[in-house]
Structure 1
Amino acid sequence: MKKHIPIKKFSQNFLVDLSVIKKIIKFINPQLNEILVEIGPGLAAITRPICDLIDHLIVIEIDKILLDRLKQFSFYSKLTVYHQDALAFDYIKLFNKKNKLVRIFGNLPYHVSTSLILHLFKRINIIKDMNFMLQKEVAERLIATPGSKLYGRLSIISQYYCNIKVLLHVSSKCFKPVPKVESIFLNLTPYTDYFPYFTYNVNVLSYITNLAFQKRRKILRHSLGKIFSEKVFIKLNINPKLRPENISILQYCQLSNYMIENNIHQEHVCI
């Protein structure tokens, strides 16, 4: 098979380490009759062993050359192939057609990973779980806790929706071409029975966190001063002199709910 030349604009780094691939398959643990969607099958490093275990897999790939390569594999008959951007794929239509929660996995390129994850959160009610290979910095932002320099809006929104587990640290040497950074494979499972956080409207939570972290070096009294008075912060037991990265997800939810309960005007902001 002709060697594929990675396309720079798609940030293509292909997983080639067989031991890592085996571990990933074990973590995903695909089952018959599940609705599995792979974003970016690439050179089929994960696609092939997944297809050895199930009868059907949906793949989304933006690179036409890579899709043409898939046709040369014996497992191609098990695939339903979509040549499009994963951000444009209709996940809700898929759910409605199959009437089953969707499992999504893939090795996500750096330039789309954050926007894609936020995009999928808008469809969280139709997702069973997500298993993604991410560049280390993105993964660490997802799991960051208050007080960390990496803690921010992405951490808050991600942890609001999902229980996140780091499954595997992956060396850059496990990819070709070798990227400049390390990677982390993690699982995001949406909360269903137990919800650790609550807000009446996640768009308001998104608005507040976006406003706060736009000026993350400023204290809350300044970054969120146009919405909340110092008295409100004190009433909610939140120190107005703290910076945004020192406020917990629960406290941001408290601010969000106070805003809604008191009909405080806000711009319409979606995650």
Structure 2
Amino acid sequence: MKKHIPLKKFSQNFLIDSNIIKKIIEFINPKLNETLVEIGPGLAALTRPICHLINELIIVEIDYSLLERLKKFSFYSKLVVFHQDALTFDYLELFNKKNQLIRVFGNLPYNISTSLILYLFQKIQIIKDMNFMLQKEVAERLIASPGSKSYGRLSIIAQYYCNMTKLLNVSPKCFRPVPQVDSIFINLTPYATNYYPYFTHDVRVLSYITNLAFQKRRKILRHSLGQIFSEKVLITLDINPRLRPENISILQYCKLSNYMIENNIYQNYI
């Protein structure tokens, strides 16, 4: 088979380490009759072994040449193929067709990983779980706690929607071509319907507040959010106005969000 030349425009780094691949399959633990969607099957490092365990796998791949390669494999008959951008794929239509929650996984191209995860959060009610290989920096931002350098808007929005588990550290040498960064394989599982650790009336308001706060990361809240919340209001909400954005918990950001909504302040900003 003709060798595939990785395309920089699609940020292609293919997983080649058999031990890492085996561990990832064990973590995903695919079952018959589940709706599994792989983002970017690439050279089929995960696709092939997963097809040995299930009868149908849905794949979303933007690179047509990679889809053509897949046709040469015996497991191709188990694939439902979408030649599409994962950032515009209609996951809701798939959910309606299958009538069950979707499991999404993949070795994500670094250039779309954050955008894709945020896009999938908008469909969180139809997702059972997500298992992704991510650039280490992105994974650390997702799971970061208040007070750490990695904690920011992405941490807050991600943890609002999901419980996250770091599963595996992956070295650059496990890929071809070898990337400049380390990777982490991570699980994101939406909270059970009877358990939501955080609440806001409108996540768009939470997103707006966190974006505003972290645009001026080094400024204290009294300054970064001063146009919306007076020092008196912050104190009333039990939030220290002299703290920086990275020192405020998700619960506290939800308090700010709900205050804006309950007092009809958000209409001036959203």
TM-score, normalised with respect to structure 1: 0.98
Residue 217 of structure 1 and its aligned partner are, at CA, apart by: 1.0
Residue 149 of structure 1 and its aligned partner are, at CA, apart by: 1.1
Q: Counterpart in 1 of 2:11?
A: 11
Residue 110 of structure 1 and its aligned partner are, at CA, apart by: 1.1
1:247 maps onto 2:248 in alignment: yes
Q: Secondary structure at the match of 1:255?
A: helix
Residue 170 of structure 1 and its aligned partner are, at CA, apart by: 0.5
2:143 alignment partner AA: I
Q: Counterpart in 2 of 1:79?
A: 79
Q: Secondary structure at the match of 1:115?
A: helix
Q: Secondary structure at the match of 2:112?
A: helix
Q: How many residues get paired?
A: 269
Structure 2 residue ranges without an equivalent (≥5): none
Q: Distance in 1 between matches of 2:266 and 2:86?
A: 34
Q: Distance in 1 between matches of 2:61 and 2:17?
A: 21
1:41 alignment partner AA: P
Of 64-73 and 188-197, deviating more is 188-197
Residue 267 of structure 1 and its aligned partner are, at CA, apart by: 5.4
> Against the structure 1 CA distance between its residues 267 and 17, is the aligned structure 2 distance closer, same or farther, given a 3 Å change threshold?
farther
> Against the structure 1 CA distance between its residues 188 and 267, is the aligned structure 2 distance closer, same or farther, given a 3 Å change threshold?
farther
Structure 1 residue ranges without an equivalent (≥5): none
Contact kept, 8 Å, 2:14 with 2:42, in 1: the verdict is yes
Q: Counterpart in 2 of 1:106?
A: 106
1:247 alignment partner AA: I
Q: Distance in 2 between matches of 1:147 and 1:95?
A: 38
1:72 alignment partner AA: K
- 4+ runs deviating over 2 angstroms: 265-269
Partner deviation per Cα, 1:49-70 (whole Å, 9 max, x = no partner): 0000000000000000000000
Q: RMSD of aligned C-alpha atoms?
A: 0.8
Contact kept, 8 Å, 1:39 with 1:60, in 2: the verdict is yes
2:100 alignment partner AA: K
Q: Distance in 2 between matches of 1:85 and 1:217?
A: 36
> Against the structure 1 CA distance between its residues 151 and 123, is the aligned structure 2 distance closer, same or farther, given a 3 Å change threshold?
same
Q: Counterpart in 1 of 2:24?
A: 24
Contact kept, 8 Å, 2:205 with 2:266, in 1: the verdict is no
Q: Distance in 1 between matches of 2:95 and 2:84?
A: 18
1:212 maps onto 2:213 in alignment: yes
Question: What does residue range 96-245 of structure 1 map to in structure 2 within 5 Å?
Answer: 96-192=96-192, 193-245=194-246
Residue 265 of structure 1 and its aligned partner are, at CA, apart by: 3.2
